[in-house]
Structure formats: structure tokens, C-alpha cells
């Protein structure tokens, strides 16, 4: 059973890689032409971000997919047959996507609040500019921890494995979008921001001022910050300093080691 689940994950996982790969290439190209903020001439930053991205990609089939297979094979209940057909199935998929995103929102809040989790998440926030490469700039231990923590809603909600993969694809595509430096017409961005997290909303989360860093935690659906009162009042200003107060970005090797050494900041 675990092997069959793992095979399913790998095949649907490759669909996820194709989709997110195409979105990444498209946004990476567009943000170089229609950009919101002037990009820094900093190839070292791109090396760091691509380096962290490469580690995550290598680990995914070896650690992340087997972890999800483990959760999918240890559900605490199974849904009745009627929940898997017709309108009920569509409704359940929608509810599953919303609840999985609620989990992601709270997990992100805890990454900011719990000192040991912040040590990992800080690697993402030390980026001093935002573009599509920032969406994959995570410490690999954060990616593993998030996959372990996501086993909880998977085992409790018992969604289909397809829905989990669909949510993960949606999460990566939205993360690519809200980290991107693509300039959108104001009216389009404002309309989109009522439902999903847009670059303007997430830019404020990366503002190097603690009150803003500890706000705008939503990942896919933007209403969580309004619902749980964590929406910053600040509007995106392209002159805002991106990164963290009183600490500078590090080398790729320095970022990999950072969670395990040094003091809390
Ligand atoms: Zn964050």
C-alpha cells in the first residue's frame, strides 16, 4: 500500500514539478521585463537562492514524498463512498484546500513565534530582495519539518492524495506569484488581493521592520490575515528595506549552518 501511494505521489508529483517549473520559468522571465521594483545587480544572491532550491529538489523524492505517503496510509478515518462522487466530492476538495491552507497559515505564524522554528525560517527572511527565486529559498530542515507537521491535517482530514498534491501545487504556484517582482496593474492586483495573496501583500511580510515581518502570514488565500487579525496596515512601498533588522544575508554555506550555530535573533 505504501509503495503504491509512493508511486502515485511520484507520478502526480512529476505533474506538480512540470506545472510549477513552467510557472517559475514564465514568472522569472516576465519579472525581468515588467518589474515592480528595480532588481539589484547581485548574482551572488541568485547563487544562494538557486543553491537552497537545488537541495530542496534533491530531497523531495527522497524525504518529502515518503513522508506524505506515510501520512496518507495512516489516516485516522476514511470518508464514506458518497463523499467521493459528484458535487459532494467537489465540495470536499474545496473544503480540504481551504483547511489545508488554514494549517499553512498557522504553521507560518508558529515559524515566526517559536524560537527554534524561527531559526529555520530566518533563512527565508534574510533574502534582501524578492523575486520568484525567493519562493524556493528555504532551509531544507524547514521543508522537512513542514512536511512532518502537514501529516497532522492529512491524517485528521483524510483528504484524497490527489487533493494533497493539488494543494501543494497551488501553494507553490501562489508562492511563486506572491514572491515575484512582476508589476501588475493596480486594479488587477487589488481585485486579486481580496481572494489570494499578491506580491504587494507579501512584500510587506518581508519588510525589515518587526511589526510588518510578524504580519501578513497568509500563503494562498488572503482572508486568513483579516480573519485572524494579522493583516498589516502598511501598504507596499518599493523603497521598503527587504530582509531583517540588524542582520545581513549570508553565503550559501553560512545559511545552511545558520540554524545550528549562533544565538537567537
Ligand atoms: Zn515568514
Per-residue three-class SS string for the chain: CHHHHHHHHHHHHHHHHHHHHHHHHHHHHHCCCCECCCCCCCHHHHHHHHHHHHHHHHHHHHHHHHHHHHHHCCCCCCCCHHHHCHHHHHHHHHHHHHHHHHHHHHHHHHHHHCHHHHHHHHHHHCCCCCCHHHHHCCCHHHHHHHHHHCHHHHHHHCCCHHHHHHHHHHHHHHHHHHHCCECCCHHHHHHHHCCECCHHHHHHHCECCHHHHCCCCCCCECHHHHHCCCCCCCCCCCCCCECECCECCCCHHHHHHHHHCCCCC
Q: What contacts 108, CB < 8 A, 6 or more positions away?
A: 217, 218, 219
Classify residue 156: in a domain, yes or no: yes
Distance in Å, CA 49 to ligand 1 centroid: 16
Give the rounded percent of residues in the chain with a pLDDT score beyond 90.
Answer: 74
Per the structure, the count of domains in the chain is 1
Classify residue 197: in a domain, yes or no: yes
Distance in Å, CA 122 to ligand 1 centroid: 8
Domain residues for the domain of 162 are 2-260
End-to-end CA distance of the chain: 44
Q: Residue 242's beta-bridge partner residues? A: 207
State pLDDT tens for residues 198-224: 999 999 999 999 999 999 999 999 999
Residue 124 cell numbers, joined: 527565508
Classify residue 265: in a domain, yes or no: no
- The larger pLDDT score, comparing residue 60 to residue 138, is at 138
Distance in Å, CA 77 to ligand 1 centroid: 33
Residue 163 cell numbers, joined: 487533493
Distance in Å, CA 207 to ligand 1 centroid: 10
State pLDDT tens for residues 8-20: 666 666 788 889 9
Beta-carbon count within 10 A of 43 CB: 8
Residue 217 cell numbers, joined: 502570514
User: What's the number of CA atoms in the CB half-sphere (13 Å) around residue 159?
Assistant: 25
Distance in Å, CA 40 to ligand 1 centroid: 22
pLDDT of 3 over the 80 cut: no
What's the pLDDT at 264?
60
Distance in Å, CA 183 to ligand 1 centroid: 22
- The larger pLDDT score, comparing residue 2 to residue 75, is at 75
Mean pLDDT of the chain: 91
Distance in Å, CA 241 to ligand 1 centroid: 15
Amino acid at each position: 500500500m505504501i509503495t503504491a501511494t509512493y508511486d502515485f505521489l511520484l507520478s502526480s508529483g512529476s505533474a506538480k514539478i512540470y506545472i510549477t517549473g513552467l510557472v517559475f520559468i514564465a514568472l522569472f522571465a516576465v519579472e525581468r521585463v515588467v518589474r515592480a521594483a528595480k532588481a539589484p545587480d547581485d548574482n551572488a544572491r541568485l547563487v544562494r537562492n538557486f543553491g537552497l532550491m537545488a537541495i530542496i529538489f534533491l530531497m523531495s523524492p527522497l524525504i518529502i514524498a515518503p513522508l506524505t505517503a506515510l501520512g496518507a496510509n495512516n489516516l485516522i478515518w476514511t470518508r464514506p463512498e458518497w463523499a467521493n462522487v459528484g458535487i459532494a466530492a467537489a465540495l470536499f476538495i474545496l473544503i480540504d484546500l481551504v483547511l489545508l491552507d488554514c494549517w499553512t497559515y498557522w504553521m507560518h505564524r508558529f515559524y515566526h513565534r517559536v524560537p527554534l522554528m524561527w531559526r529555520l525560517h530566518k533563512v527565508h527572511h534574510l533574502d534582501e530582495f524578492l523575486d520568484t527565486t525567493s519562493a524556493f529559498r528555504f532551509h531544507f530542515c524547514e521543508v522537512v519539518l513542514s512536511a512532518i507537521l502537514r501529516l497532522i491535517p492529512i491524517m485528521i482530514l483524510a483528504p484524497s492524495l490527489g487533493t494533497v498534491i493539488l494543494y501543494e501545487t497551488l501553494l507553490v504556484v501562489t508562492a511563486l506569484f506572491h514572491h515575484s517582482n512582476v508589476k501588475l496593474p493596480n486594479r488587477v492586483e487589488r481585485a486579486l488581493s481580496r481572494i489570494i495573496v499578491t506580491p504587494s501583500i507579501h512584500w510587506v511580510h518581508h519588510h525589515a521592520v518587526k511589526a510588518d515581518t510578524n504580519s501578513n502570514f497568509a500563503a494562498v488565500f488572503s482572508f486568513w490575515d483579516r480573519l485572524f487579525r494579522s493583516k498589516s496596515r502598511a501598504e507596499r512601498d518599493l523603497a521598503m528595506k527587504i530582509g531583517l533588522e540588524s542582520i545581513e544575508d549570508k553565503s550559501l554555506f553560512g545559511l545552511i549552518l545558520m540554524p545550528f550555530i549562533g544565538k537567537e535573533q
